[in-house]
Structure 1
Amino acid sequence: EIYAFAPGIDPATLEVHLERGLLTISGERKSVLPGAEEKAAVHINERFEGAFRRMLTLPDDADPEAVDAKLSDGVLRITVRRSASAQPRRIAIQ
């Protein structure tokens, strides 16, 4: 399981791709700060704005057909299951 913190990001701007064992999470956060025409000053801004992309290499036994992504309360949870052939199994002794 992979957790990515994404507070304040619109789910429509998030994208998750899996290609040849490389998981890519990308999106964009819009600015919520007052514009230059408003008479307000920002002293500290702890959240970045703009586009971002994170790339992770997955193990060889990751099943590309069994990937789920859910966004809840600003946390993106990506579940990647292993392929059935990679699961450990008990072998009976005869």
Structure 2
Amino acid sequence: MNVGGTPQSVEIYAFAPGIDPATLEVQIEKGVLTVAGERKLPTTAEAATVHIDERFAGRFRRVVTLPDDIDANAVDARYRDGVLRISIARKQSAQPRRITIQ
């Protein structure tokens, strides 16, 4: 999972290849983002002997504390090519603005 930000948003990238996006759970509650899901074993893996296994199977859960200036009502989550991208807008009052000098 990678977490970063811009002046306009907080960007989270969760790498979840091979997972059905309908089974992923994304929640924001009290400034905490939770991403949970389950990776199932391929059916052919049950009969095969495994020598090296770099991808785990089973349930997972990642929790990230978010900054205070996010807008929990302005969240966009998209899953493409095994990557879940979550973009959370910052509140308008937290946006940088230029002050005009008179």
Q: TM-score, normalised by structure 1?
A: 0.89
Q: Partner residue of 2:69?
A: 61
1: CA distance between counterparts of 2:12 and 2:69? 16
Question: Following superposition of structure 1 onto structure 2, how do residues 34-49 of structure 1 map, counting pairs within 5 Å?
Answer: 34-35=45-46, 38=47, 40-49=48-57
Q: Aligned-residue CA RMSD in angstroms?
A: 1.2
In the alignment, residue 22 of structure 1 is paired with which amino acid? Answer: V
Structure 1 residue 42: Cα displacement: 1.8
Calculate the TM-score normalised by the size of structure 2.
Answer: 0.83
Tell me, in whole angstroms, the C-alpha distance in 1 between the residues paired with 2:81 and 2:96: 34
- How far apart are 1:46 and its partner, in Å? 1.5
Instruction: Tell me how many residue pairs correspond in the alignment.
Output: 91
- CA offset at residue 89 of structure 1? 1.2
How many Å separate the matches in 2 of 1:48 and 1:10? Answer: 15
Distance between the aligned counterparts of 1:19 and 1:13, measured in 2? 19
- CA deviations on 1:2-59 (whole Å, 9 max, x unpaired) are 1110011111110110011100000000111533xx4x32222211000000000111
Q: CA deviation at 1:90?
A: 1.6
